[in-house]
Amino acid sequence: MKRLVQAAVRLMLAILLAACGGNAGGDVNNSAPAPSLSGTVTSSSAAMEGVIMTLSGAGSAVVTTDASGNYSFTGLADGSYTLTPSKVGYVFSPSFKTLTKNISYLAEENFVGNTGGIGSIPLYFPIKVGNKWIRRAVLNPAAGTSTWTETSEVIRYDGTYYSMQVTSASKSIDYLAFTNNEWTLEKVESYGPVASSLPTLDVDTFSPPKLLFPSSADIGTHDVRTTVDSRLFTLLQSNYAVDITVAALESVTVPAGTFQNTLKCIYTTTNLDVQSSSTTTSWFADGVGEVKSVSPDLTMELTNFKFN
């Protein structure tokens, strides 16, 4: 009888060990699945390939959707994240998502893209007669030494050029053209103080026309163009190289409001005659235009705008 009981005990132990995977030490694998965030991007129910998915917040990463419209982030830590889709020629619903990622679960976030939005160059540069932008300018922002208001208004179109009047303490008129999918500056007429009746002080003509906006709104676009600035009255000529890089999509807050998915562009202008360079960073909002620009000594922020 005693031997029968011992045999039964051994049988029960064998069954228990088998249920534990044969691990006599009792170390059961209780690790959770690797944390991840994934989803699908579609347009008119069709998969969208090549959508840039940018994750920011507790960590940062960028991936691109595949041929099935799928994307995936892995190895995420706990924390709050913002997920933003972008592709030239599309706006997305929602435009971004804010979420909290717990390491204990897998998340899925889906987006829908619609044509006609981000990436359309005319919408980043919405030039039309009657459109007006009002900006606050701060000279030497660190010290706050001087502040003024600048107004830019498109006052006419002659079939070739849009004339934009820029007014602060003085006045100038910029002649802009949109050809071959590019915005360029042909000429600038400079005048004296707004309250005076002084004639034109000088005229700058750019040959070839100076590039104002990159040739594409794709992230990573890099354009370099040279131009000669000829001044009519002073008879001076200067050779310049303009280097423009489309750096990122960012959210920007200015007095006129908060703008999502603004196009961040870095402009480096080099005077080739003396080999000196200056850099300005500008942010352009879809359907609004430039909302902010920052250079070492000057910051400009949009305070109001009015479109026809």
Residues sharing a CB contact under 8 Å with residue 270, sequence separation 6 or more, in sequence order: 240, 241, 243, 276, 277
Residue 68 tokens, joined: 């099935």
pLDDT digits (tens, 9 = 90+) for 65-102: 999 999 998 888 877 787 878 776 666 777 677 777 66
Measured distance CA(22)–CA(25) in Å, rounded: 9
User: So what's the pLDDT on residue 11?
Assistant: 45
Note whether 157 and 294 are same-domain residues.
yes
Task: For residue 118, give the DSSP letter.
Answer: B
CA torsion, ordered 141, 168, 302, 121, to nearest 10 deg: -120
Note whether 151 and 71 are same-domain residues.
no
Note whether 130 and 101 are same-domain residues.
no
Measured distance CA(217)–CA(91) in Å, rounded: 13
Note whether 110 and 148 are same-domain residues.
no
What amino acid is encoded at 135 in this protein? Answer: R
Evaluate whether residue 28 is within a structural domain: no
User: So what's the pLDDT on residue 59?
Assistant: 77
What is the value of pTM for the model shown?
0.62
Note whether 100 and 157 are same-domain residues.
no
Work out how many domains the chain is built from and give that number. Answer: 2
Note whether 265 and 134 are same-domain residues.
yes
Note whether 81 and 62 are same-domain residues.
yes
**Residue range of the domain that includes 212:** 121-306
Q: Where does a domain end: 89, 115, 141?
A: 115
Phi, then psi, of 299 in degrees rounded to 5: -120, 130
Evaluate whether residue 174 is within a structural domain: yes
What amino acid is encoded at 293 in this protein? Answer: S
Positions in the chain short of pLDDT 70: 1-35, 88-91, 95, 101-107, 114-120, 122, 141-144, 194-198
Note whether 199 and 55 are same-domain residues.
no
Q: Could you tell me the CATH number of the domain that includes residue 108?
A: 2.60.40.1120
Evaluate whether residue 192 is within a structural domain: yes
Note whether 152 and 88 are same-domain residues.
no
**185: exposed, middle or buried (Cβ count in 10 Å: 0-12, 13-18, 19+):** buried
Task: Tell me the three state secondary structure of residue 122.
Answer: helix
Measured distance CA(54)–CA(220) in Å, rounded: 14
Q: Are 76 and 37 in contact (CB under 8 A)?
A: yes
CA separation, residue 177 to residues 183, 267, 290 (Å): 6, 19, 17
